[in-house]
Structure 1
Amino acid sequence: MVLLNCDPDDMEGTLGLIEELTTNAREMQQQVLKEILTTNLKTEYLNGFLGEFDDAGGKWRDHVVAFKKHVPIVEYDQVSPYIERLANGDRSTIISSQPITELLTSSGTSGGQPKMMPSTADELDRKTFMYNVLVAVMNKYVKGLDEGKGMYLLFIKPEISTPSGLMARPVLTSYYKSKNFRNRKSNKYNACTSPDEAILCLDSKQSMYCQLLCGLIQRDQVLRAGAVFASAFLRAIKFLEDNWSELCLNVRTGELSDWITDQSCRESVRKILNGPNSRLADAISSECSKGWEGIVRRLWPRTKYVDVIVTGSMAQYIPTLKFYTGGLPLLSTMYASSECYFGINLTPLSAPEDVCYTLLPNMAYFEFLPVDMTHHHGEEDDKDSNQSCNGYGGGVIQKPVELVDVEIGGYYELIVTTFTGLYRYRVGDILLVTGFHNSAPQFRFIHRRNVVLSIDTEKTNEDDLLHAVTQAKILILEPLGIRLTDYTSFADSSSIPGHYVLFFELDAVDTNAKVMEQCCEVVEAELDAVYRRCRNRDKSIGALEIRVVEKGSFDVLMDFCVSNGSSVNQYKTPRYIKSEEVVCVLEEKVVGRFFSNNVPNWEQQPRNMHPT
């Protein structure tokens, strides 16, 4: 079985293991694929492609050749029927010879709902292995982490029981509720200010309050702070900004606020409160009263770094993070998804713009589709001819290469074959090869394929956005005789929480506020379940905004894009904007700003995810 054991307290031994894995990356990848194939050849999915080769009794190398020749590269829609059978109670070996123990919901969407990824019992061991490896890497670069605690603000998300009885839940919720997470306390480097009871509280407001309170009480012990995503950490700082007076009162009196009704939270926090502390309350109040620039460094003065993901869509939060953290190093340590955990940052103190990840070759079998980021299709099907405005270009060349065969400077889309039943699955992440650590390549995360808007964990693609805008046109604007001339969008991260902004150009002379607010509400109601959950339950996304621009504004936008390199013949309005200059062009034309007044129901089904 592929090696998963390492002792996080043995830094030298674990660092040696990393060297062994990355030096022998090709051999390890072959071993991983051999184990996956020999274990799962009899599954319905693989047998459908490789049955005749298995019957012939060929060697496993023959199976590898057949695997690459006959097993297709797939996306979620092609494997979802198999996963839905699992969710509906089919207990046969559909995709895995090992029992599927849960389904992990991704932040990507399929038909408006989160995708579900299969998982097995030993997958938790792979996740734990990755976390243990990270301990050794961090201790190499940052000394003394065993002399204090981490203030990590961690939260669980809603989960559902499928007809089969399998739980469907986000990957981090799965890990936080596992025995692997509970047993982490046996390692001295994993000491955390937040009690498990607060992390596992389903009420996100109570969870946030209790975790911040515990972090403030133990402020002198905090050596590192963080959350999984930059957006979540900033949301916590904004929560602190709104509630610091009440938090100080709790510290001063030694009593927890009455509105904290979760009994597990109350009991665990009371133990940490341990009576009144007016001196600490005065110190916290003094720092909060001075303003919010550098508040993290001032409230937790021993903090060495902030551990949050700031790559991909989270990069938009870097300036705000620097403001609140007072220039503390921002570390992105791990690259993972619902499909599996991929790799780690072997140089964690690198600047956010230089973050790259080394994929550990024992975690899954990796392949890569080369992506030509400068390629342009013909005018009929060119979706990327406006790249100077939206920042995206590139078609995919369908010739996959193995992990160790990628080339420095090349762009690739990640494909994984996992131990849990995904075979040649397109993850959708576009990566840039920046170098090698031994024989293992290092990648910079560029962006998600087809994702146009993201504020938190949601990922809205262009088709979903088009559908939502189309519904607003059909249901609100067209019955009133109002025509939507053109539109575009961007993710506004200047506020906390961030929110979606749509620029609408209408043919109406006067804009009715109520009508536009209804448009905002329809668009939100038609976006996917993850977006609606973030808006409704998690409060991690603010109200959607429509900014109406004056007539002719999109002609001005086209002139700007053409002057910056877009082809006149191939120009198409960018449906999403990543350039601040382009936002400014339209901002100068805004004649009205309107927000959604109602929070969408996150459990409802969108009307129709495929508009005609």
Structure 2
Amino acid sequence: MLLSAAPGVMLAAVVALLVAVCVVLPSPPPLRHLLLRAALLRASGWQRRRLELQSTDVRHGQERRLRRLLPPGAAPGEPDGERGQRAAGAAGRPSEPRRPPGGSDAFRERHPPSPCCDDGERAEPLPPLSLWAVLRSCWSAEPALQGLLLYLHALHRTFPQALTLRGTALLGWAPTAPRAPGFCPLPTLYCTPPEAAALPLRSAALRVQLLFALRTRSLRVLEARLPNELHDALVALRDGWAELAHDLALGTLSPQPGLPEEMRGRLQALLVPDGTRAAELRAECERGFEGIVRRLWPQLQVVVVGTVRGGERLYCDALPWAACEGLPLYCPWYRVAGEWAFCEFLPCPVDEKEEQHTALLGELWEGREYTLILTARPGEYRCRAGEVLRVAGFHKQCPVVEPVRRESQVLSVRGESIPEEQFCRSLHRAVGMWPGARLMDYICVESTLLGAGAPHYEVFVELWGLRDLSEEQRHKLDHCLQEDFPIYKLFRFKGSIGPLRLHLVGAGAFTRLREAMGCPVPMPRVLREERLLAVIQGTVIS
């Protein structure tokens, strides 16, 4: 025990010395950045080694986590025996484990699963960089800080130049979190001012951040909290590059809605005229926008976005095709609402006639889908996260999972239940039958929100390469759904579900819709608010 603790104590001393130098001495920004980066990388390496060690015995790790989570005196006892463990990376079904009394089994019997949590991801501020936080990370870390340190380790190991001074640009809106940093708790890493993220309007925040990012030609990392924010920032570049070049040349910040005059003055004081960079921006944008990101930032190494959940996948698929062509896209996070501490997995599909048994980390099957069940803190036991995950593989005993769908985004007006990702596949298939068309964005509405007419779906789409839809094209989507979902076809045949109605919206419609949502969340694919329905209906062109 003493020998195993010694490296952590020595590391803590090294980190303490590095951070103390930065805190006490008036170091210049480059030196301060180098010292703090060294301290974080030391701590991140230690966290990586801890994670590798913990991933060899996930069963006992979960039991220990559960005991720490429950109130004193309420923790269930250790199990009397060992469960069968699956070999890392092996495919197929594990042997059915014997379930001894006590441990997590007693906890699960005592607390039945509760209804779904809110599955919306908020762009919450990340833990600030402090002396105590960095020191504590050498032997123990809260999940959020541990995740940040592991992210730094992976990023630095793959892209050694990624953590350069002012080498990262942040594109993200956080109106309720003033001065919130990005993914890394190292302020000197960012060339975009933190105040810009907290502007009242999303469009203003993204434009200001884009302007500061364009000032830095030597950018190494382009970072966005959500893929839809990166998508909309690049749309703002395509539509407003002439005004951005004007601001760069003069070192000014043009007035715009959502940018208070006092804030505009403070941000403008950080700008200096740069006619050379403005001319380069004009020249590259006049050439077109395919591969524009790499042409504007020749030293850019990676594009980092928050977790790709459900409807966000559409934007990630589109980015490499156009503006971010040739750049790797790194998605390091998987987040759900709340600070969860203990996770279980309910196999899908769930047979309601059978007793529902959840699985723990060491009991999952590769290739299967599971509903995620979380326990956050005492009193918040076994809450359905509203998310379905697929096990893509294993790292030692830890599963590698990918989000598949959100339970809140299922379409159903007669109990037919069309999942989010399967509807998207049908829609892509229908769009593929329209010559010259490419799907840019979409959202669905159930007739219950419309308040009139027979039960049916209405779908709003934004297309590239098509300005109008014929009646025959509109019917293609309904036919695809009937072919892909027999229950939907049966209800359509009986007349209990009416024909799908398809609407084409103008360019920028979904950017305005996301602005109207009022907070940064993954893009929903089923609209459930009347005020947002009015916004999208006002953009219909066909």
TM bucket, shorter chain:
0.5 to 0.7
Query: Does residue 407 of structure 2 align to residue 449 of structure 1?
Result: yes
Question: What's 1:524 paired with?
Answer: none
Residue among 189, 202, 206 paired with 2:204? 206
Query: Does residue 109 of structure 2 align to residue 69 of structure 1?
Result: yes
Q: Judging changes above 3 Å, is the alpha-carbon distance between structure 1 residues 370 and 396 closer, same or farther for their aligned structure 2 residues?
A: farther
Q: Judging changes above 3 Å, is the alpha-carbon distance between structure 1 residues 281 and 413 closer, same or farther for their aligned structure 2 residues?
A: same
Query: Does residue 165 of structure 2 align to residue 139 of structure 1?
Result: no
- Return the offset for 1:424: 0.5
Question: What's 1:215 paired with?
Answer: 213
- Return the offset for 1:107: 2.4
Question: What's 2:461 paired with?
Answer: 492
Residue among 367, 370, 373 paired with 1:409? 367
Question: What's 2:283 paired with?
Answer: 286
1:52-63 pair list within 5 angstroms = 62=102
Determine the C-alpha separation between the residues in 2 that align with 1:445 and 1:567.
25
- Return the offset for 1:131: 1.1
Residues 458 and 500 in structure 2, CA contact (< 8 A), matched pair in contact too: no
Query: Does residue 153 of structure 2 align to residue 153 of structure 1?
Result: no
Q: Provide TM-score, normalisation by structure 2.
A: 0.63
- Return the offset for 1:228: 1.9
Question: What's 1:8 paired with?
Answer: 40
Question: What's 1:33 paired with?
Answer: 66
Question: What's 1:436 paired with?
Answer: 394
Question: What's 1:128 paired with?
Answer: 145
> Is the deviation greater in 420-429 or in 128-137?
420-429
- Return the offset for 1:129: 2.1
SS at match of 1:422: coil
- Return the offset for 1:399: 1.4
Q: Give RMSD over aligned pairs.
A: 4.7
Question: What's 2:384 paired with?
Answer: 426
Determine the C-alpha separation between the residues in 2 that align with 1:156 and 1:194.
14
Residues 214 and 269 in structure 1, CA contact (< 8 A), matched pair in contact too: no
Question: Could you give the per-residue CA deviations for residues 299-321 of structure 1, whole angstroms, max 9, x where no partner exists?
Answer: 11111111124453222223421
Q: Judging changes above 3 Å, is the alpha-carbon distance between structure 1 residues 488 and 8 closer, same or farther for their aligned structure 2 residues?
A: same
- Return the offset for 1:546: 12
Question: Could you give the per-residue CA deviations for residues 160-219 of structure 1, whole angstroms, max 9, x where no partner exists?
Answer: xxxxxxxxxxxxx4xx656x8799226x6xx01211111222232332222111101112
Question: What's 2:447 paired with?
Answer: 469
Residues 339 and 427 in structure 1, CA contact (< 8 A), matched pair in contact too: no
Residues 372 and 396 in structure 1, CA contact (< 8 A), matched pair in contact too: no
Query: Does residue 345 of structure 2 align to residue 368 of structure 1?
Result: yes
Query: Does residue 117 of structure 2 align to residue 107 of structure 1?
Result: no
SS at match of 1:152: strand
Determine the C-alpha separation between the residues in 2 that align with 1:573 and 1:8.
59
Question: What's 1:240 paired with?
Answer: 237
Question: What's 1:531 paired with?
Answer: none
Q: Judging changes above 3 Å, is the alpha-carbon distance between structure 1 residues 333 and 262 closer, same or farther for their aligned structure 2 residues?
A: farther
Determine the C-alpha separation between the residues in 1 that align with 2:489 and 2:354.
19
More strand by share: 1
Determine the C-alpha separation between the residues in 2 that align with 1:143 and 1:295.
24
Determine the C-alpha separation between the residues in 2 that align with 1:152 and 1:552.
39
Determine the C-alpha separation between the residues in 2 that align with 1:306 and 1:225.
5
SS at match of 1:415: strand
Determine the C-alpha separation between the residues in 2 that align with 1:256 and 1:66.
61
Q: Judging changes above 3 Å, is the alpha-carbon distance between structure 1 residues 452 and 286 closer, same or farther for their aligned structure 2 residues?
A: farther
Determine the C-alpha separation between the residues in 1 that align with 2:449 and 2:239.
36
1:146-545 pair list within 5 angstroms = 146-148=163-165, 149-157=167-175, 173=177, 184-185=185-186, 191-220=189-218, 222-259=219-256, 260-271=259-270, 273=271, 275-308=272-305, 309-322=307-320, 323-340=322-339, 364-372=341-349, 398-419=356-377, 421-452=379-410, 469-474=447-452, 484=454, 487-490=456-459, 492=461, 494=463
- Return the offset for 1:239: 0.9
Question: Could you give the per-residue CA deviations for residues 437-482 of structure 1, whole angstroms, max 9, x where no partner exists?
Answer: 11111112111124148xxxxx99x9xx9986235343xxxxxxxx
Gaps of 5+ in 1: 47-60, 78-104, 109-113, 160-172, 341-362, 378-394, 454-458, 475-482, 497-544, 575-584
Residues 412 and 432 in structure 1, CA contact (< 8 A), matched pair in contact too: yes
Q: Judging changes above 3 Å, is the alpha-carbon distance between structure 1 residues 219 and 492 closer, same or farther for their aligned structure 2 residues?
A: farther
Determine the C-alpha separation between the residues in 1 that align with 2:460 and 2:228.
12
Give the partner amino acid of 1:133: L
Residues 195 and 211 in structure 1, CA contact (< 8 A), matched pair in contact too: yes
SS at match of 1:302: coil
Give the partner amino acid of 1:213: L
Determine the C-alpha separation between the residues in 1 that align with 2:444 and 2:474.
21
Question: Could you give the per-residue CA deviations for residues 52-92 of structure 1, whole angstroms, max 9, x where no partner exists?
Answer: xxxxxxxxx84744321121101148xxxxxxxxxxxxxxx
- Return the offset for 1:416: 0.9
Percent sequence identity is 20
- Return the offset for 1:140: 1.8
Determine the C-alpha separation between the residues in 2 that align with 1:330 and 1:156.
22
Residues 251 and 268 in structure 2, CA contact (< 8 A), matched pair in contact too: no
- Return the offset for 1:420: 6.9
SS at match of 2:252: coil
Residue among 490, 498, 502 paired with 1:571? 490
Residues 372 and 397 in structure 1, CA contact (< 8 A), matched pair in contact too: no
Give the partner amino acid of 1:431: L
Residues 34 and 64 in structure 1, CA contact (< 8 A), matched pair in contact too: no
Q: Judging changes above 3 Å, is the alpha-carbon distance between structure 1 residues 153 and 182 closer, same or farther for their aligned structure 2 residues?
A: closer
Determine the C-alpha separation between the residues in 1 that align with 2:162 and 2:238.
28
Determine the C-alpha separation between the residues in 1 that align with 2:212 and 2:444.
44
Question: Could you give the per-residue CA deviations for residues 394-442 of structure 1, whole angstroms, max 9, x where no partner exists?
Answer: x997211111111112211111112375210110111111221111111
Gaps of 5+ in 2: 1-7, 16-38, 77-100, 128-132, 134-139, 412-419, 424-442, 494-498, 519-527, 532-542
Give the partner amino acid of 1:263: E
SS at match of 1:143: coil
The count of residues paired between Structure 1 and Structure 2 equals 406
Determine the C-alpha separation between the residues in 2 that align with 1:335 and 1:278.
41
Determine the C-alpha separation between the residues in 1 that align with 2:183 and 2:112.
39
Give the partner amino acid of 2:397: S
Determine the C-alpha separation between the residues in 2 that align with 1:40 and 1:256.
59
Determine the C-alpha separation between the residues in 2 that align with 1:408 and 1:215.
41
Question: What's 1:87 paired with?
Answer: none
Q: Judging changes above 3 Å, is the alpha-carbon distance between structure 1 residues 493 and 436 closer, same or farther for their aligned structure 2 residues?
A: farther
Determine the C-alpha separation between the residues in 1 that align with 2:102 and 2:150.
34
Determine the C-alpha separation between the residues in 2 that align with 1:217 and 1:337.
34
Q: Judging changes above 3 Å, is the alpha-carbon distance between structure 1 residues 9 and 30 closer, same or farther for their aligned structure 2 residues?
A: same
SS at match of 2:401: strand
- Return the offset for 1:547: 8.0
